[in-house]
Chains A and B, each alone.
Chain A
Amino acid sequence: MTGIILALLLVPLFSAFLIFSIPNTRKELFRPIGIVFSLITFTQSMYILFSDYSKSDFQILLKFEWIQVYGLEINLGISGMSTLLLLLSSLLVLLSLLSIGKEHSESKGFIGSILTLHFAINGVFISGDLISLFIFFEALLIPMYFLMGIWGGDNRRYATIKFILYTVFGSIFIFIGTVYTAVISYGVNARLAVDFETLSTLQISASQSKTLFLLFTFGFLIKVPIFPLHTWLPDAHVEAPTAGSILLAGILLKVGAYGILRVSIPFFTEGFLEYKNLVAVLSVIGIIYGAVVAIAQIDIKKLIAYSSISHMGYVMLGISAGEFLSIEGAIIQMINHGITAGALFMLVGFIYERRHTRNISSFGGVKITMPRYAAIFLFTSFASIGLPGLNGFVGEFMILMGSYNSYKVLTSIAAFGVVLAAIYMLWAYQRVFTGPLSNEENKNLQDLNLRETVSIFPLVLLMLFIGIFPSYIESFVIQEAGNLSETISLFRSTK
């Protein structure tokens, strides 16, 4: 098992180096090599899924001594939630490599950056202490910087710098939080031990817990993003290339919520109980705000970006309610949003490659020329809206159910987000796909080819699968959500 964990880091890194070392004359090799190696990572994640660790709470499997005199260690481990997210990330990397057009697939830097990003993402999900979590969290920025900067849209400079500065600003808080925790831990353990096992037994006072919760959660919330801190997201999505958008929406947004579930809540529960109402209010504002703004968008990609803010609001609402069902729902919603938002961005990318515009008004009647594309888009929209029987429903339903006990009013408001989602998704569908073929350029559109169909198909299948058998995916997070809600209720009763 330890070998698999290590390979999750080394295989993407090695493949990135391999891609960079191939001469530019063998352009056709880049994509196959990338796909083969991400397939290997995907197989490893599948292996973890069927092992004993995939249903447990976080377990540290690997320890390295990093800086001896400070007693700093690098810990790697795995849990149920990490397994699911690892699986999602390797699937999305694989499919996004498959889905990109010729312009990107023949670029060494593009494929290499995606594989480097894969390395950092895997690192986030398997890191077992605050230091390595922070290292990989920051390391995400470099491949994203190049992906957005080199292959982005016209306004990419502004968007990239905004994205980087926002994230770095947030991670400074995580950094200070890590340092603070390490110093507290030094007082008890006589070394800077910040691995998750030590932290779960570390006694910290109420005021320290509150400060630390604020420090960590602020950093992670920027990455989620939550309502007033979200402004980097639409810009980043619009300017990023398709594969960048898929990975940004599919995985990078989950890193924030993952951090809150992994660090902020279990270790600084007292702080969580103090500030959870604030987070809940902000996330409900985010749900409604994101949905309302999405209705008014004329750019499809921006519309989906704002819908992501709305959907991630549900995740944060579920987390802040702190009930077993709501936390479970939040984790499942994270996975579901990764699947549907990834699929939607991929679909937008397909049509952008054909028309080089994402403006809703320049489409109309596309259903006639691209029937298969329209069907898949409609299906994905339904999943995103949360139609019963598809994956979106499962997470949102569990979150709303679970949160209702804690926040009756807020949950009732949040439920309207589902209606708004139907408005913006279906209205967009109507304007793009139905009606007469008014625009000349839309008359010669090619329907999805085999490669594109193959790359979207697994996601469609997953939407259906999770919608019909939610209990299968639930079984991986029961243990973790249970432990989290137990910790929370324990602290609540002692308060």
Chain B
Amino acid sequence: MTGISDILGFNFVVIGPTLTLLATALILLFVTITISTPTFVKKYVTLFGILSTVFAVFLKFGLFLSDGVSSYFSEKILLDEFALVGNVLIVLVLLFTFNSFWKTSSQIDNKTTEALILILMSASGFLLMVDSENFIMLFIGLEIGSISLYALAGLNRGDQLSNEASLKYFLLGSLASCILIYGIALVYVSLSISGVYETSIAISFIGPENVPLTSLIGLILIIVGLLFKVAAAPFQAWAPDVYQGSPTGYVGYMASVAKVSSFIVLARLSAVSLNFIIDKFDLFFTAVIILSVLLGALFATNQLDLKRLIAYSGVIQSGFILSGISFGVYGISASIFYLATYIIQLIGVFTIFSIISGQLSSNFAISNLSGLFKENKFLTITFSIFMLGIAGLPLTSGFVSKFILITNLWSYEKYILVTVLMLSTVAGFYFYLKPIWVAAIEKTDNTIEQIKIQNSDKLLISTLAFLTIYLGLLPNTLVNITRWMVENYL
């Protein structure tokens, strides 16, 4: 006996992580508005919610192992390798950034609960986004996630930069959402479909050369909407201001979660209709990659604010990740590897910034670091590891990820792309080593204020630094996982 719910594919395990996070947010809200709650209760409710989400992701794994790739909720929600890895990465981001966003939230007077709810909501939205098979579902997830992030950026009302960041992020982000939904509409108008798999089936059915122009434009607009979220040039303008203005404790979370979800969706789009994308959008992607890498390197070179520098470096990294996603199945797996290693370094860097300058601060000038070595050797060493990792020095994970990406690109004979990417790496050594110089080498008399570093932060940062080195020395496991993701599309 199969009920109607089975036919429609109702299965709450599939959206389990999303539901768990939503439930946690609601419990927090309910508790806070009814009784006066001590802060530690909020902390443990949030932590418990995140840990339950980890459990829910495990359940999803079990479902995947028994049922394989399948869609649910009348083909709105998809459970495939990309969804699983996306879920795992987002939950890991939540876990890794919990410490710093909790501390930031607890410092914002009277808005602790709001901040936590916003974070949990945004994570649930992005989880929905990586799970979605349907474009409309994708849009809903993206909006739930993004709107929470806009609010998060401006949560520190007293800070002018924070307000500016929020407004800018909101205006430009909504524009991007408009573009995305317009693209979805165009695809629907021309092909009467609005799903990832449906699109690829339709394209192979009518033949790649007969695809109408409207749906081509639609697909490009969808991709542009997603590229906006990952701050690839020329859609990068918001990133430096938002990174700089937002409370430092939140930036690690904001930056990594948006990157993870958008890139996972892009990777899936690219994987299911790969040949089509390589054929038609080759030039578009090449242009975006070259622009991202050049613009990012150019602007990062003369930044005096470290958060802006990391933002522009993020533009370069987006170019790198995109270079894998748009060229070949192996490229996609290399990109996911790159993404995973990059967010580890990104979270590590921002955790260190928030420890040094305080959670709520907005500006973080390079000179803030001077005298760091005298004050705290642990932070200096780990900071250097993260920066060298982003720069791509051998013995760190950054090198392995760049190596497999470039190897893939070279096998597609993209020599110009390889040259541009490698040149940006040389430039990268200039601006990634500059903060290390200020922190570790430059002799200075004005020591920074005493840094109090908690044991939990120490544990977190050393874990992230260890992962950066470990994945540089023994990358085999993670490479195997990313390879497993794309095995079906070979």
Chain A residues at the B interface, C-beta cutoff of 8 Å: 65-70, 131, 134-136, 138-139, 141-142, 145-146, 149-150, 157, 160-161, 164-165, 168-169, 172, 175-176, 179-180, 182-183, 186, 192
Contacts and interface: CB of A to CB of B under 8 A. Distances in A.
A180 B410 contact: yes
A146 B426 contact: no
Contacts of B437: 149, 157, 160
Contact of A139 (B394, B440, B441, B474): B394
Contact of A150 (B410, B419, B429, B441): B441
A289 to B, nearest CB: 26
Contacts of B200: none
Which 3 pairs across A and B sit closest by C-beta, in order of nearness?
A: A135-B394, A149-B441, A138-B394
A165 B426 contact: yes
B410 A183 contact: yes
Contacts of B403: 131, 175, 179
Given A161-B433, A165-B429, A179-B410, A67 B404 contact: yes
Contacts of A134: 394
A67 B400 contact: yes
B406 interface: yes
A176 B426 CA distance: 13
Interface residues of B, number: 30
B480 A168 contact: no
A134 B395 CA distance: 11
Interface in B400-422: 400, 403-404, 406-407, 410-411, 418-419, 422
A175 B426 contact: no
A149 B479 CA distance: 36
Contact of B388 (A65, A66, A142, A179): A142
A76 to B, nearest CB: 14
Contact of B407 (A66, A141, A182): A182
Interface of A is mostly: helix
B475 interface: yes
Contact of B483 (A69, A131, A183): A69
Contact of B422 (A138, A142, A175): A175
Given A67-B475, A135-B394, A183-B407, A172 B441 contact: no
A150 B384 CA distance: 15
Contacts of B393: 138-139, 141-142
18 contacts: A66-B474, A66-B475, A70-B404, A138-B399, A142-B393, A149-B437, A150-B440, A157-B437, A164-B433, A168-B425, A175-B422, A176-B406, A176-B419, A179-B403, A179-B406, A179-B407, A183-B411, A186-B411
A176 B411 contact: no
A239 to B, nearest CB: 13
B423 interface: yes
A477 B411 CA distance: 38
A168 B426 contact: yes
B476 interface: yes
Nearest to A145: B433
B466 interface: no
Given A67-B475, A149-B441, A182-B407, 7 more contacts: A66-B474, A69-B483, A138-B394, A157-B437, A176-B406, A176-B410, A192-B407
Contacts of B426: 165, 168-169, 172
B441 A69 contact: no
B489 interface: no
B406 A175 contact: yes
A168 B429 contact: yes
A172 B476 contact: no
Nearest to A134: B394
A172 to B, nearest CB: 5
B430 interface: yes
Contacts of A149: 437, 440-441
A67 B410 contact: no
A169 B440 CA distance: 24
Contacts of A160: 437
A165 B388 CA distance: 14
Nearest to A136: B394
B312 to A, nearest CB: 18
A81 B403 CA distance: 29
A203 B480 CA distance: 30
B410 A172 contact: no
Nearest to B433: A164
B413 to A, nearest CB: 9
A136 B393 CA distance: 10
A70 B476 CA distance: 10
Interface in B228-257: none
A136 to B, nearest CB: 8
A146 B429 contact: no
Contacts of A146: 440-441
Contacts of A141: 393
A151 to B, nearest CB: 10
A176 B479 contact: no
Given A69-B480, A70-B404, A165-B430, A172 B423 contact: yes
A311 B21 CA distance: 68
Contact of B480 (A68, A138, A150, A180): A68
A161 B406 CA distance: 25
Contacts of A168: 425-426, 429
Contacts of A70: 404, 407, 479
A149 B411 CA distance: 39
A465 to B, nearest CB: 37
Contacts of B404: 67, 70
A192 B407 CA distance: 9
A139 B399 CA distance: 11
B391 to A, nearest CB: 9
A66 B476 contact: yes
B21 to A, nearest CB: 34
A176 B418 contact: yes
Contact of A68 (B411, B419, B476): B476
A135 B395 contact: yes
A390 B384 CA distance: 45
Contacts of A175: 403, 406, 422
A180 B403 CA distance: 11
A67 B411 contact: no
Contacts of B433: 145, 161, 164
Interface in B445-483: 474-476, 479-480, 483
A421 to B, nearest CB: 35
The listed residue with most B CB atoms (<10 A of its CB), out of A67, A141, A146, A165, is: A67
A134 B393 CA distance: 10
Contacts of B483: 69
Contacts of B411: 183, 186
Nearest to B384: A142
